[in-house]
Homo-oligomer: A and B are copies of this chain.
Amino acid sequence: MKIVEMQVTPIALGDPPLLNAAGLHAPYALRTVVELVTDNGLRGVAEVPGSSAFARAIEQAREVVIGADPLNWHALKGKVAAHCGTKSARIDDATPWNHGAYVQVLSALNVACLDLMGRAFNVTVAALLGGVLRERVPYSAYLFYKHEGAGGELGFGTDPRATGWAAARQAAALDPDGIVNQARAVVREFGFKSIKLKGGVFEPAQEIAAMKALREAFGPGVPLRIDPNARWSVETSIKAGRELEGVLEYLEDPTSGQEGMAAVRRALTTPLATNMCTTSFEDLPGSVRLGSEDIILTDHHFWGGLNAAMELAAHCRTFGRGVSMHSNNHGGISLAAMTHLGAAMPNLSFALDTHYPWQWEDVIVGGRLRIEDGCVALPKGPGLGVELDRAALARAHENFRRCGLKDRDDAFEMRKKIPGWKFQSMCW
């Protein structure tokens, strides 16, 4: 089997004005769909974040992708490394939500090759990752402080006809009450059994109040997490963490760097999770030496693919780290890949993060994947178990073309609302 064609389609999916430490989400989330076509007519697909760095890097890889055997991942990975370099790409273009184009190229190719293998052998990607341990993979609700607005074409506008979660999704949530209302709506719609709040937006006291309000509203049976995206100083993290002892399942990236995280971890009994201080295999020795976190949030888009995410899970077993999963905005192809990974990972300790409820569009046949009782059922069918809807893909690509965005820049979006806004570390 040989890869004879690679199609790269940048798309934009409508996204509400969600707030985070880095600023504000634009009205569209950028993604890229990568398809590999083989000489025997099979087609494998993957989805990764959209960025101009990724667009350049995947084109640079094209020369070694065409002609490669999708059944020989080691060989293809080696060719990409030799052809495109590794470290330089990672260091040059990494941002807090983009760990470098090189690992994303590997991720896109790895997922599409696994999809091809699954189709060739008539088995699921989860089977190729070692076997299905759970048919239903648990996800966590993902709350955001947000401005009023639907996103997409409506931007900061709202659709008055919306009801249920669609209405709640466009509502503002700028204080603890707003967050609790958002949580009630998203839990009612999807049945989530655990809840995460994207923090690092307002002063820590308000975010602590929001977590306590969530605990009050949902009781101790619903695990809670908050992620201030490393916006807190070490001292603030310890003070806030102490306020939240007993309230949180885990505290995600309160502060930056492995040393800072390790200092916070020594001061708290609440477990610390990260997708910011330990984000690559190169970071694992430092993590082990310093003891920077209890839980590593894998993300196959940023660790180089699904096989690499399974390798990370093996490291976590060896070194006593739990595993959970990070998410950016994404569509159904990514959700399918995340679900295969979650189905196959022996040491999946926690419900996974997903932004999926914030989107309403998708590019797969049958429309959006369903989240029920907080779980996504492992897609059946060979490979990832999803098929591209060509008309929907064309519409999403047209959205990409029209929206004019090439790269995610949450600070730029934020400055449209608050001129001069810039990221600042928070002390409390």
User: Taking beta carbons and an 8 Å cutoff, which residues of A are in contact with B?
Assistant: 69, 71-78, 120-121, 123, 127, 130-133, 281-282, 284-285, 288, 307, 311, 314-315, 317-320, 344, 346
A47 to B419, CA, bound (A): 70
A344 to B71, CA, bound (A): 12
Closest to A124 in B: B71
Chain B residues whose C-beta falls within 8 Å of the C-beta of A133 in the assembled complex: 74-75, 78
Chain B residues whose C-beta falls within 8 Å of the C-beta of A72 in the assembled complex: 127, 131-132
- A318 near B281: Cβ-Cβ < 8 Å: yes
- Chosen A-B contacts, 13 in total, with CB atoms closer than 8 Å, are A71-B127, A72-B131, A74-B130, A74-B131, A74-B346, A75-B132, A75-B133, A78-B346, A284-B318, A285-B288, A285-B319, A288-B288, A315-B315
Top 10 closest A-B pairs, CB basis?
A: A72-B131, A74-B131, A311-B314, A121-B121, A74-B130, A281-B318, A73-B131, A284-B318, A74-B133, A73-B130
A387 to B317, CA, bound (A): 36
Chain B residues whose C-beta falls within 8 Å of the C-beta of A77 in the assembled complex: 346
- How often does this chain occur in the complex, in copies? 2
Closest to A285 in B: B319
A317 to B285, CA, bound (A): 11
- A74 near B281: Cβ-Cβ < 8 Å: no
Given contacts A75-B133, A311-B311, A314-B314, 5 further A-B contacts (CB under 8 A): A75-B132, A78-B133, A121-B121, A284-B319, A285-B320
Contact of A131 among B71, B120, B123, B319 (CB under 8 A): B71
A140 to B73, CA, bound (A): 27
Chain B residues whose C-beta falls within 8 Å of the C-beta of A121 in the assembled complex: 120-121, 123
A123 to B: closest C-beta gap in Å? 6
- B71 near A285: Cβ-Cβ < 8 Å: no
A326 to B66, CA, bound (A): 38
A101 to B284, CA, bound (A): 31
- A123 near B346: Cβ-Cβ < 8 Å: no
- B288 near A71: Cβ-Cβ < 8 Å: no
A71 to B: closest C-beta gap in Å? 5
A71 to B117, CA, bound (A): 14
Chain B residues whose C-beta falls within 8 Å of the C-beta of A69 in the assembled complex: 131
A382 to B282, CA, bound (A): 36
A319 to B: closest C-beta gap in Å? 6
